Amino acid sequence: MAAKEQQDIDPFVAMESLRAALAEAGIVLPSLSVDSASPALRLIELGRVRSDVAARLAEALQLGGRE
């Protein structure tokens, strides 16, 4: 995906891909959504999370998806 240009990535597809990957790690970001206030920028809103969810997210990133 690094080779894709920003303009080539649909924000809704990116959001759902992220949601699915997080779900596989047992992580839910309730506020995960496409930022409708800046459609040209294609931003994804991650929102706020509890500290335990942030710790699980950090652990999943550190493991690189490997368990």
Q: How confident is the model at residue 6 (pLDDT cuts 50, 70, 90)?
A: low
Q: How confident is the model at residue 2 (pLDDT cuts 50, 70, 90)?
A: low
Which pTM does this prediction carry? 0.79
- Residue extents of the structural domains in the chain: 6-63
Q: How confident is the model at residue 22 (pLDDT cuts 50, 70, 90)?
A: very high
State the sign of the Cα–Cα–Cα–Cα dihedral 20, 21, 27, 32.
negative
Whether the pLDDT of residue 65 is over 80: the answer is no
Q: What share of the chain is helix, strand, coil (3-state, %, to 5)?
A: 45, 5, 50
CA distance 67 to 60: 9
